[in-house]
Amino acid sequence: ISSNSFETNEHFHATSTQQRSTTIINSYNDQISNSNFSSTIQNWLRDSIKLQSNNRSSTFYDKPWSKSSRPSILNSLQRDIQKYNGSNDLKNTIEAAKKMLKNGVLDYHNHADHIASTLIICANCYLKANHYVLAIQYASEALQYNKTDTDAVICRARAFENEKFLIFSYADYARIPSTDFSYTLAQRACEKLAIELNKTEGETWREKLPKDNNDDERYLTYIKTKDDFSTKNQYDWYRERGNQLYLDACFILAIRCYTYCIELKPDVASLYSNRAACYLKVFEPQKTIDDCDKALEIDPDNARALYRKACAYKMSRNNQLYEITLKNLIKLQPNNQTVLAEYYTSRHEQIPRKMRRLRTNPINTTTSKSVPSVSSSSDMGNSKSPIIIEENNLSYEELEQIRTQKITSSSINTSYLFGQQLNSLKLNDIKSQCSLVLRLPTKGLFKIANSASSKLVEVIINACRIMVDAEKRYQQVHKSSILQFSYIKFCFNILIELTTLPRIESALLMIGQDYRASLDDLLSYFSSISSILHDVNKLDRLRK
């Protein structure tokens, strides 16, 4: 057989494969165009098809999205949302729903319906509370995942109507299809609005109706009008709006705002890093990596960008580049315990003893909210700001004063009294936090704390971090001293008691990311001294 025959067969095989690939791409593009996703997500899906065809031929035939059931790890949190929503507890419903959206488990490629329904719960709660701006915001975000969701459309239409944006309200009501059970309601609303618009806008008001259903742009048009938007300060406006949208778990709207910022100032590293954080939240690892690379081109020492890039490689299951990126980050921040823990865990190794320590203060005690991954508006330009927050601790001597005082102070002997004292705590008052925790029983905590709450867990974590760190520092200076009281042992016992409380799994899902990281540090530390502590395995219930 001549070599020309082999060449002909290879050419035929390559041509046939290319034709099949083109057919599949065209088929998927048609499916994407016919999907209920917004144009933004549709473009992301098309990009993923191109990425598969160019770089990952082995997975090229994977459909870029599917419908999967909610991850079981979120079942407890979902029950809380349903319970609070059923009892019309708007505040706790919104808090639990936001925790669901920020959990880092929901991937829109698989869970778009669940993301949309959770956003709609937030929107409807804000509508009931007469917070129409936020109702419009969350409904607009929900429509990014399902542009035909009538619950989101009607919620937003009602909010627009209450905000006196009658043309936008009419446009939303008019979107309801005749096959939907809400169609009659929507038509009545349209008739009512048409009468009012004829009076206020004249007979030509229909010419002002939006020409498309670009929901993110409609939201921005509304909020710009609401905020008296000016092109003179548009960069700051988009940046601050993007930061707030990120904190509100409206990641697609935040991406749109950061994109406008980048168009205005393409040389600001923190903008790419912040947009990368949003892409990471919506499970777009390649876009995260691309933005992190742009940030690192501008600022090679941008720790946030480097860490997010590592997370994106982990999301892509590229373990080799994940480890390499973490190693580069360790060179920048050799004492960052979160990064050290991730790096050595990925290598199935323990952190070297000389590198172990509790973080100085991973919790921002100056605010009641956990520190966001995205820079706040005050430090947007400071892309080199460390991931670890500045120190805010107590000394061993200060803790002894608190412990001595608590002996003579009133004891906590009822769940009502305990609940009152816990709710009155301010998160920037670390002495009061430690005082409360030191008065907790190391046996029978469930008698005064009927069930775990996110605030109780966060207070205990923060107090334990302060106490353990204080004793470690004291021991380093006074190596031969015999301690009157071991805060390390006390904290170990309190954390074991914490595992006995009902609803602890749900409470752990609702704590801030930095409290979660601090708890992981404590658990790692107690595991490292398991030879002098008994029953360390009882703390496993607190692990992720």
Question: Which residues, 6+ apart, have CB-to-CB distance to 23 below 8 Å?
Answer: none
**Rounded average pLDDT over 76-82:** 91
**Inside any domain, residue 391:** no
Q: Do 316 and 285 form a contact (C-beta atoms < 8 A)?
A: yes
pLDDT tier at 476, thresholds 50, 70, 90: confident
Is residue 366 pLDDT above 50, yes or no? no
pLDDT tier at 411, thresholds 50, 70, 90: low
CATH number at residue 195: 1.25.40.10
Number of domains in the chain: 4
The number of helices, as runs of H, and strands, as runs of E, in the chain is 24, 0
Phi, psi of 373 (to 5 degrees): -65, -30
Same-domain check for residues 52 and 90: no
**Inside any domain, residue 171:** yes
Pick the range with the lowest mean pLDDT from 16-25, 227-236, 519-528.
Answer: 16-25
**Rounded average pLDDT over 407-422:** 68
As a whole number of angstroms, the distance between CA 23 and CA 374 comes to 41
pLDDT tier at 61, thresholds 50, 70, 90: very low
- C-alpha triplet 315, 319, 325: angle, nearest 5°: 90
Same-domain check for residues 24 and 44: yes
Same-domain check for residues 147 and 241: no
**Inside any domain, residue 67:** no
As a whole number of angstroms, the distance between CA 438 and CA 472 comes to 18
- Each residue's pLDDT tens digit, 264-299: 999 999 999 999 999 999 999 999 999 999 999 999
pLDDT tier at 373, thresholds 50, 70, 90: very low
* Unique residue bearing structure tokens 């009468």: 195
**Rounded average pLDDT over 188-211:** 93
Q: Which two tokens stand for residue 204?
A: 């030509």
Q: Which two tokens stand for residue 268?
A: 């600001």
**Rounded average pLDDT over 404-408:** 63
Same-domain check for residues 187 and 142: yes
Helices 251-264 and 132-145 cross at an angle (nearest 10°) of 90
Q: Which of 226, 257, 291 is the last residue of a domain?
A: 226
The Cβ of residue 240 has, within 10 Å, a number of other Cβ atoms equal to 17
- Each residue's pLDDT tens digit, 496-508: 999 998 888 888 8
Same-domain check for residues 53 and 85: no
pLDDT tier at 325, thresholds 50, 70, 90: very high
Is residue 66 pLDDT above 80, yes or no? no
* Unique residue bearing structure tokens 């806008």: 201
Residue ranges making up the domain that contains 490: 396-542
**Inside any domain, residue 66:** no
pLDDT tier at 116, thresholds 50, 70, 90: very high
Q: Which two tokens stand for residue 15?
A: 């041509």
Please classify residue 465 by burial: count the beta carbons closer than 10 Å to its beta carbon, then call 0-12 exposed, 13-18 middle and 19+ buried: buried
Same-domain check for residues 32 and 108: no
**Inside any domain, residue 315:** yes
Q: Which of 172, 202, 226 is the last residue of a domain?
A: 226
Q: Do 402 and 434 form a contact (C-beta atoms < 8 A)?
A: yes
Same-domain check for residues 94 and 150: yes
Same-domain check for residues 137 and 250: no
Same-domain check for residues 372 and 250: yes
**Inside any domain, residue 2:** no
Q: Give me the helices (H) in 36-107, please.
A: 39-55, 75-86, 90-102
The amino acid at 464: C
Give the distance between the most distant pair of CA atoms in the chain. 100
Same-domain check for residues 267 and 325: yes
Pick the range with the lowest mean pLDDT from 90-94, 377-381, 399-403.
Answer: 377-381
Q: Do 346 and 326 form a contact (C-beta atoms < 8 A)?
A: yes
Question: Which residues, 6+ apart, have CB-to-CB distance to 145 below 8 Å?
Answer: 36, 37, 38, 41, 108, 112, 113, 115, 116, 119
Q: Which of 59, 82, 101 is the last residue of a domain?
A: 59
Q: Which two tokens stand for residue 294?
A: 């742009």
**Inside any domain, residue 387:** no
**Inside any domain, residue 301:** yes
Same-domain check for residues 197 and 127: yes
Same-domain check for residues 267 and 368: yes
Percent of the chain exceeding pLDDT 70 equals 84
